[in-house]
Amino acid sequence: MEPAPAPRCDRLLVHYAEIGTKGGNRRMFEEVLCRNLAGALRDSVTGGFGRESGRLTARLAPGADPGAAAARAAMIPGVAWCAPARTVRSDLEVIREAVLAAALSHGDGAFRIDARRTDKSFPLDSPAINATLGATVVSATGRPVSLRAAVHTYGVEVDRQRSYVFTERLEGPGGLPVGCEGELVALVSGGLDSPVAAWRMMVRGCRIHLVHFLNRSVSTNRVVEKIEALAARLSLYHGPLPLTFVPFDEAQREIVMVVPAEIRMIVYRRMMFRIAELIRAEHRAMGFVTGDSVGQVASQTLENLAVIRAAAEWPVYSPLCGLSKSEITEMARGIGTYEISILPHEDCCSFLVARHPETKADRGAVEALERFDAPALAARVFAGRESRTVDPRPPIS
């Protein structure tokens, strides 16, 4: 038998899992998530997202592609899963008809019903709804039920005012919506790690301000384009994303004049934190994010990380510090930054550094060698910064 056309979905159903810091925060959490979803999906939904019985829903705009809208919602931090759904009356026979229509639009294969009753006054409980709808589909299609090996799952959510029937469930990143926490200044290098680190802190609810240091005498426009491409990708998760470029060449020239090659990398990194501190203060951010992973490169021994971080006045969050390169690479693929990160670029930190750098730096020794006016240099470099906001929507041309 030819499958019937799939019934049209008119709604987006969004479920969340984690609610941060417990207590009376659920409402705040839901409001932030509604706002972020509405921003990301403003072309695909009408009337915004509303809260009902532990889920959020929005009406799909006429002409919107339900699958594409759900895929977009599935990128938003805080979303556990979402689905394009068909809205029906909370009446068992109407629900039965909708599930049957969905089942008839699929070919063969085992199926299962996954019903949830949030309206406890509905005459059947969830297992009973599963049983009766399952029996209907079996007798109409001859397809077997399999809880473990179902090819299709028919989701049903029964609420007081209305019910939802859906077949396609997309997993989101979970975590907390961006804006539940304060802001962090994320140092992004153009490598694989730092964009993933920034993303991980977004999924903890933090607002992010990206900062990249570049040496204009060694780098081409390619670096700027690469960082912008990374920011554009990350903005799909974050929403409009502030990005600051800092010209680092003057600082590097000054460091090269007085600091031996073996510890220049460490001193560059310390200088980055002094400049990033001025950006942090300007935006009242609460700390920094880096892509450090312990032991991955010479600057990431515990000794060197300790000396580098001593220059930061606010906490440094490095969510990848305990992960392997292959774990980080897999995450980069998952969030779509991998293809951008592997493009070649000129790294400002390779500017006149030793081939065999110090791996066991001593804080006192490094500080003694920093014979330049670091606060004045940081202030001068900071003055040359260039900031913009990267919007997730491509500009209309």
User: Where do contacts with ligand ATP occur on this chain (CB under 6 A)?
Assistant: 187-189, 191-194, 211-213, 272, 290-293, 296-297, 299, 348-349
Residue 188: name its binding partner from Mg ion, ligand ATP, none (Cβ under 5 to 8 Å by kind).
ligand ATP
Residue 299: name its binding partner from ligand ATP, Mg ion, none (Cβ under 5 to 8 Å by kind).
ligand ATP
User: DSSP readout, 137-150?
Assistant: HHHHH-PPB-SSS-
CA–CA distance, 232 with 307 (Å, rounded to integer): 33
Per DSSP, 120 falls in state T
Q: Cα-flanking dihedrals φ and ψ of residue 81, to 5°?
A: -160, 160
Does residue number 357 form part of the binding site for Mg ion (CB under 5 A)?
no
CB 90 → ligand ATP: shortest distance, Å? 51
Does residue number 191 form part of the binding site for Mg ion (CB under 5 A)?
yes
Q: How far apart are the first and last CA of the chain?
A: 47
CA 176 centroid distance within chain: 10
Does residue number 189 form part of the binding site for Mg ion (CB under 5 A)?
yes
Residue 130: name its binding partner from ligand ATP, Mg ion, none (Cβ under 5 to 8 Å by kind).
none
Does residue number 215 form part of the binding site for Mg ion (CB under 5 A)?
no
Closest by alpha carbon to 188, among 209, 219, 207? Answer: 209
Residue 194: name its binding partner from ligand ATP, Mg ion, none (Cβ under 5 to 8 Å by kind).
ligand ATP
Residue nearest to ligand ATP (CB): 191
CA–CA distance, 198 with 275 (Å, rounded to integer): 18
CA–CA distance, 99 with 124 (Å, rounded to integer): 16
Does residue number 290 form part of the binding site for Mg ion (CB under 5 A)?
no
CA–CA distance, 331 with 326 (Å, rounded to integer): 9
Element (H, E) at 193: helix 193-202
Residue 157: name its binding partner from ligand ATP, Mg ion, none (Cβ under 5 to 8 Å by kind).
none
* Only segment of 49-57, 185-193, 240-248, 256-264 that touches Mg ion (CB under 5 A): 185-193
Does residue 315 come out as left (phi exceeding 0), alpha (psi in the -120 to 50 range) or beta? beta
Q: Which is nearer to Mg ion, 286 or 349 (CB)?
A: 349
CB 291 → ligand ATP: shortest distance, Å? 3
Q: Which is nearer to Mg ion, 39 or 191 (CB)?
A: 191
Residue 98: name its binding partner from Mg ion, ligand ATP, none (Cβ under 5 to 8 Å by kind).
none
CB 191 → Mg ion: shortest distance, Å? 3
CB 293 → ligand ATP: shortest distance, Å? 6
Please name the residue that has the structure tokens 């903005």. 235
Residue 291: name its binding partner from Mg ion, ligand ATP, none (Cβ under 5 to 8 Å by kind).
ligand ATP
Helix axes 374-383, 249-258, angle to 10 degrees: 160
Contact by Cβ (8 Å): 261, 352? yes
- Contact mark string toward Mg ion, 67..106, x via CB under 5 A: ----------------------------------------
Q: How many residues bind Mg ion (CB under 5 A)?
A: 2
User: DSSP readout, 353-372?
Assistant: --SS--SS--HHHHHHH--S
- Do you know the residue count of the chain? 397
Q: Which residues bind Mg ion (CB under 5 A)?
A: 189, 191
